Structure formats: C-alpha cells, structure tokens
Amino acid sequence: QVQLVESGGGLVQAGGSLRLSCAASGGTFSGYAMAWFRQAPGEEREFVAAIGRNGIVTSYADSVKGRFTISRDNAKKMVYLQMNSLRPEDTAVYFCAAKSTLSTRIPQSYDYWGQGTQVTVSS
C-alpha cells in the first residue's frame, strides 16, 4: 500500500512558476512508475506527465511539453513537477499517482492517488 501526499499548489500569475511535490510512504517507491494528472471543474482527469521507475524515461502531454518537468528522488521517496510559464488554462487540481511496472497516460491504470493540490493561474 502506497500513500501519496501532494503539496506546493497555490495562486500564481500567468507566466509564473510553481513546483509541486509528492511525498510517498509505504511500499517500495522505486518499484512504482509515477505520474501527475490534473482535473479542472467539469472536466475529466487528464494526463500531465509521467516518469519511469528509474527516473530516466519521461513523457508529457503536448499541452505542457517544454514548460513542465517531472523528476523523482527515489532515496527521498519524492516526485516533483516543475511548472514554468504557467497559463490560465493550467488551472486545475493536480494529482500524483503511482502504478507498478511501466507508466502510462491512462488514469484508470494507476493504483494509488494523492488527495490533490489546487493550482490557480490568474490572467
């Protein structure tokens, strides 16, 4: 069983930056692929970024490619999402998720979820 807790959300002006963190406990963290998803009001949960178990393989949604960077520290059991050049359309609740074996872009394939952290980008 893995528990995930996100932090780092907040209110930021367009063009600004935020760094989200996700702390994991329980389980063997290095055995899990990790991902960030987001969900805006009235919208479905959408893939943002994912990182493989060893931290080498990453993937991004086209909408955030070049602006967001996902990383992980297996020793600290942490995963991060550095968000730069934020836009109002990035406003959403951001969720950290974990799954065994390979990462995917499908939220239903993830086994563990955090409670989410709100990111609001003002224009």
Tens-digit pLDDT profile for residues 38-61: 999 999 999 999 999 999 999 999
**pLDDT over 90 at 3, yes or no:** yes
* Separation of alpha carbons 86 and 99, rounded Å: 27
Kindly indicate the confidence band of residue 103, based on its pLDDT and cuts at 50, 70 and 90: confident
Token digits of residue 63: 């909408």
C-alpha distances (whole Å) from 6 to each of 62, 64, 78, 117 are 23, 19, 10, 6
Q: What is the gyration radius of the CA atoms in the chain, in angstroms?
A: 13
Neighbouring C-alpha atoms within 13 Å toward the C-beta of 47: 20
